[in-house]
Amino acid sequence: MWWTVCLLLAGVWGSQADVEIKSLHMTTDILHRYASTAVSSRMVNPDDQMGEASFVVTYPDSAFITKFVIEANGKVYEAKIKNKEDVKDLDKENRNEDFPIFVRDCHQIAVSTKVEAHGEVRFLMDYEELLPRNSGDYSNVVTVNPGQIVEDLNLTVNIEETSAITTLEVQEFQDFNVEGKFKQSKLAKITEKNPSRKTIVWAPSPEQQRTINPKGVRGQLTVRYSLDQNLEHLQQYVIDNLNFVANFFTIDDLPSMRKHIIFVLDYSYSMEGQKLDELKKAMDIILSDLNSNDYFSIVLIQSIIEAWSPGALYRIRPESIDDYDREHMLKSKRLTPEFLVKASPANVAQARKYLQEADLGATYLIGGLKIGLKLANMGAEKWKVESNPPVSLIVFLSDREQSIGEINSDAIVDRVKALNIMKHPIFSLAFGYYADYEFFKKLSLSNYGSSRVIFEAANTTDQLVKFYRSVASPLLTNISISYFPTKVKNMTRSKFPLYLKGSEIVVAGKVKRDAVADLQTIGELSVTSTKGIHNYSLSDKKKFDGNSVTKLFEYLWITQMLNELESLLEFQDRQKIKESLLKMAIECTFFTTYTPLVVEKPDGSKSVVEVTPLKQAPPLEKVELMRIKWLQPYLTKGFSSAQVDVMIKDKKYNLSLHPTNDTFEICKVNRMAGECRHFQRCVLEIFQDDISDFLPYKCDIEGNFLGVCCPFHVS
């Protein structure tokens, strides 16, 4: 997953004066993987009339805003972090709907303020995050879209690590959401202070910005680096006058454990077309990537659930199955260990053929997950006496909600969690625009795994394969990093079911005051590898100046509590965690879904800024006018005319059949910004069957013409 901050700063649409961005600076200080980013933008109003400046920031969904300030007229207006329940009566900032920018895996905030004639305003914002390690690398991505040429544009990244930085790459500036071949930036300048401290500066001049885009730079700059991990697998250090301790556990030079990977795949009708084609392509690659000593199972979610083996099929149906499918069920065998399939070349070839030819059906999610867990349990029981048993992993992919069987998403999570007594990790992939990501997130958080969105894009197959490879090499199981309770308190999560090659485990705690003098051995590490159980003492100590571990400790705890609230807990447990979260987030100034920003503006008004998750625009496709069923009666009568009359909710509209390509006004629909156009210029597929699907998009054009609010990504 990439970690991104996107900045869009501009004057808002309307009759007010345009605001110029004189400077835009973004400085990221990465200290031991913990990244603190400071954003500063100065805007001026050159006109003789009042203007309005908008500051829109899209930042990583794993990051927290910790500071927001507006400076104007010689005064400083600093936002406060408040309990969401205490600010219900304040107005909300909704300007973020004005900007049709989508960046993967991000949230967005937006704040606007009036700017006097010939006045200026400065926006300052800080946000913080822990950079995760993926495939051996740490990545920081900055996405910039000022909408104009900026006189003083500067992106600076300072990196200071505990060990030598072995590789450092800065990718050439490129468009949003593009993951192409890594090409080194020619504009970025890298300086080295020592092997573990480096600085990157990307500061294109106005002329260089115009070369990238005449209307202002629009895209992303990626900084990617790796560290020398050979010296220490468990790096421990203490800072802040010995107040906090943190450990970073990284080890890649071990043989991979064997695995049993269970693919639970949605083969429902909603997957038909490009999504299914991309899934089949990805599974061809993924199955071919399996090691010959691995095992795999395939479970397809259809109207029935079908598990595959080279010599048999196992099927299970929900209660509502029809007679035809009951007859189909007669061919089913019992679920036996033959469905734990060795990844031999012959078996892989047969599995690929099966996936290419399998039928589609409805969406019986709970059935697929239950069979996936049964296969994982069956494998664990079969191989438990072996010295190097395969590790069971479940990869679950779907693009829609349940349509038959249990349809309540919380009930599904609850049932799967109760059935997963052997704690098999479930990795969930929410495929496409219509997938309920919150369900997938809850499912994986409750079952020892992780989740992510697979976006419908040109690189969908690459996204699927990349995710598989990130979980394909388990090196250790049952990882436990424990600090002695006599020396450290308030420890963050310390037990992990899996360590995957290329990843990292981070824990932190608060040092007890009476233990400061005796920190030589602070705790223990226990892991299980291919050779058995290993125990180590945590005895190495490094001391650093600064407060990065203090902030890391706060970050890990707040993230952990937010994740726990996403799980299905008893009411009393939820209330207790929520109270702790509110107290810590407000004290540490962390902007969360429960603790919004309250912004005071130069005009004396106050407003609430809340977290806005970004969602990919729906897959809207244009179609021929005659395919709109509710319009067909009008078109058959007068298709040769220049326009026809259409009645919508007892009002007559003119439908122009040969309209101009003009646009009439900026509009918003379903959180997408667009332009009002003649209906004929934006006939969308979703309008076909029911006029109610069109009504949210309807806009009026002078002359009583029927218009469509056509989203920018379509028009």
DSSP string, 64-104: EEEEEEEEETTEEEE-EE--GGGGTTSEEP-GGGG-----T
Chain segment 137-171, per-residue pLDDT in tens: 999 988 788 888 999 999 999 999 988 999 999 99
Q: Within 10 A of 214 (CB to CB), how many other CB atoms are there?
A: 8
Nearest Cα residue to 173 out of 158, 190, 189, 185: 185
Burial class (CB in 10 A: 0-12, 13-18, 19+), 343: buried
- Structural fold of domain 20-219+592-613: Immunoglobulin-like (2.60.40)
Least confident of 81-85, 99-103, 199-203, 594-598: 99-103
Instruction: Count the Cβ atoms, other than its own, within 10 Å of residue 176.
Output: 16
Query: Among 237-246, 294-303, 557-566, whose mean pLDDT is lowest?
Result: 237-246
Place of tokens 């920190």: 519
Residue 456: name the closest of 434, 437, 438 by CA.
434
Output the pTM of the full model: 0.85
Give DSSP secondary structure letters for 232-250. -SEEEEEETTTTEEEEEE-
pLDDT, position 622: 67
Angle between helices 409-419 and 437-445 (to 10 degrees): 20
Instruction: Look at residue 619 in the predicted model and tell me its pLDDT.
Output: 65
Residue spans per domain, the chain: 20-219+592-613, 235-254+475-539, 259-472, 625-711
Taking residues 37-64, report their average pLDDT: 90
Give, for 631, the enclosing helix (H) or strand (E): none
> In this predicted model, what pLDDT tens digit does every residue of 346-381 receive, in sequence order?
999 999 999 999 988 888 899 999 999 999 999 999
Q: Residues 6 or more apart from 674 whose CB is under 8 A from it?
A: 100, 666, 667, 668, 709, 710, 711, 712, 714, 715
Read off the pLDDT of each residue in 311-318 and give the average, rounded to a whole number: 90
Q: How far apart are CA 97 and CA 666, in angstroms?
A: 11
Are 427 and 395 spatial neighbours (Cβ–Cβ below 8 Å)?
A: yes
Q: Which residues contact 619 (CB under 8 A, 6 or more apart)?
A: 432, 433, 456
Q: Which CATH architecture has domain 259-472?
A: 3-Layer(aba) Sandwich (3.40)
pLDDT at site 516: 66
DSSP 594: S
End-to-end CA distance of the chain: 29
Instruction: Assess whether pLDDT exceeds 80 at residue 713.
Output: no
The residues near 65 (Cβ < 8 Å, ≥ 6 apart) are 59, 109, 125, 126, 127, 590, 591, 597
Gap between the Cα atoms of 28 and 30, Å rounded? 6
Contact 638, 670 (CB under 8 A): no
State how far the alpha carbon of 72 is from the alpha carbons of 44, 77, 124, 681, in Å.
10, 8, 12, 44
Q: What is the pLDDT of residues 571-591, one digit of tens each?
A: 888 899 999 999 999 999 999
pLDDT of residue 145: 82
Tell me whether domains 20-219+592-613 and 235-254+475-539 share a fold. yes
How far apart CA 479 and CA 497 sit, in angstroms, is 6
Strand ranges for 311-459 from DSSP E: 312-316, 341-342, 391-398, 426-431, 451-454
Question: Could you tell me the pLDDT band of residue 327, with boundaries at 50, 70 and 90?
Answer: very low
Query: 615 near 670, Cβ under 8 Å?
Result: no
Count of other CB atoms within 10 angstroms of residue 211: 12
Does residue 459 sit in helix, strand or coil? Answer: coil
Number of H helices, E strands in the chain: 12, 43
C-alpha 34: how far from chain center:
19
Contact 23, 146 (CB under 8 A): no
pLDDT at 107: 81
Say if residues 21 and 9 touch (Cβ distance below 8 Å): yes
- Tens of pLDDT, residue by residue over 513-530, are 876 666 678 889 999 999
Please give the pLDDT value at position 517.
60
Cβ atoms within 10 A of the Cβ of 687, count?
Answer: 24
Q: How many whole angstroms separate alpha carbon 22 and alpha carbon 388?
A: 62
Report residue 677 CA to chain centroid gap: 33
Topology of the domain covering 235-254+475-539: Immunoglobulin-like (2.60.40)
Sign of CA dihedral 254, 342, 470, 364: negative
